[in-house]
Amino acid sequence: MVNLLIEVLGKLGRSTLLTLQRMGDANILGFSAMAMLVQPPWQGRHIVQQVYALGVGSLVIIAITGAFTGMVLALQGYYMLAKFGSESLLGSAIALSIIRELGPVLGAFMMIGRAGSSITAEIGIMRVTEQLDALQMMAVNPKARIIMPRIIATVIALPLLIALFDVVGLAAGYVIGVDLLGVNSGAFIAEMVTKVRMEDLNIGWIKTIVFGLLIGIICTWYGYRAEPTTEGVARATTQAVVLSSVSVLIFDYILTSFFL
């Protein structure tokens, strides 16, 4: 019995140490790569390329997700508010939900699925095919050339994509609430303008920047440290998506509780 307990505690200790070691390694890789932003050779062109690849490539999926989120919120919100005769609050309910919570979280999930997984897979394949080693042998630091532009690009692209998510979501909520469900247009807009403060927008921005950083660091780290086999890259991609999603939810809770 005592032996079993020692064995269980030993396994728990080892896995905790391993997790802490990985977290430390990911942070060291991520932040040391980002430090190269201010060192020559400048990687501006590669950052712009990555913002384009990650951002423009995710535009459609973000717009679709935003639209349907706004539409569902309008239907559900109207159903709930109608019970209390407060349909006029629909505009503010949709706006606050999307700007403070759903926009950043769902947008981050879409970014993880669309761009995060491709970042991990791309870097992992570069590891398998020795392209990262080849860069090093050509005196090009992969942290500066591959890792840093992708992290910075996620930090830049995610807030912009979520701004789009918010706008499309609000517009879709307006169409469903006002045109389909018959909520008064003036009340919808007025409630939205009155109830949504600059502080709410700022919370949304801060969340998107933090989520972008998380996605960038986690997805690049998993790719960079992927076992150099096809199975290793597949596993790294799955783990990157899962861990990024869970991290977004955890940090969403932390940030929400901090700002409330």
Q: In 179-229, which ranges are continuous DSSP H helix?
A: 185-195, 198-224
Q: Does 41 interact with another protein (rule: CB under 8 A)?
A: yes
> With contacts defined by CB under 8 A, how many residues of the chain interact with another protein?
13
Among residues 144 and 240, whose Cβ is nearest to another protein? 144
Q: How far is the CB of 133 from another protein (least distance, A)?
A: 5
Q: Does 140 interact with another protein (rule: CB under 8 A)?
A: yes
Contact pick of 136, 184, 239, 256 for another protein (by CB under 8 A): 136
The whole-angstrom separation of Cα 168 and Cα 66 is 6
Q: Does 139 interact with another protein (rule: CB under 8 A)?
A: yes
Q: Does 141 interact with another protein (rule: CB under 8 A)?
A: yes
Q: How far is the CB of 130 from another protein (least distance, A)?
A: 4
The whole-angstrom separation of Cα 24 and Cα 12 is 18
Q: Does 37 interact with another protein (rule: CB under 8 A)?
A: no
Q: How far is the CB of 134 from another protein (least distance, A)?
A: 4
The whole-angstrom separation of Cα 242 and Cα 101 is 20
Residue with tokens 């006002």, as numbered in its chain: 178
Contact pick of 1, 4, 38, 138 for another protein (by CB under 8 A): 138
Q: Does 118 interact with another protein (rule: CB under 8 A)?
A: no
Q: Does 25 interact with another protein (rule: CB under 8 A)?
A: no
For residue 92, the number of C-alpha atoms closer than 13 Å in the C-beta half-sphere is 16
Burial of 227 (0-12, 13-18, 19+ CB in 10 A): middle
Tokens of 172: 């879709």
H or E element in which residue 106 lies: helix 103-111
- Three-class DSSP category at 227: coil
Q: How far is the CB of 79 from another protein (least distance, A)?
A: 49
Considering only 88-96, 123-131, 204-212, 223-231, which stretch makes contact with another protein by CB under 8 A? 123-131
Among residues 53 and 73, whose Cβ is nearest to another protein? 53
CB 212 within 8 A of CB 220: no
Among residues 129 and 229, whose Cβ is nearest to another protein? 129
The whole-angstrom separation of Cα 45 and Cα 153 is 11
Tokens of 37: 């932003």
Q: Does 129 interact with another protein (rule: CB under 8 A)?
A: yes
CB-CB neighbours of 24 under 10 Å: 10
Q: Does 38 interact with another protein (rule: CB under 8 A)?
A: no
Q: Does 239 interact with another protein (rule: CB under 8 A)?
A: no
Q: Does 4 interact with another protein (rule: CB under 8 A)?
A: no
The whole-angstrom separation of Cα 29 and Cα 54 is 21
Catalog residues that contact another protein under the rule CB under 8 A: 41, 129-131, 133-141
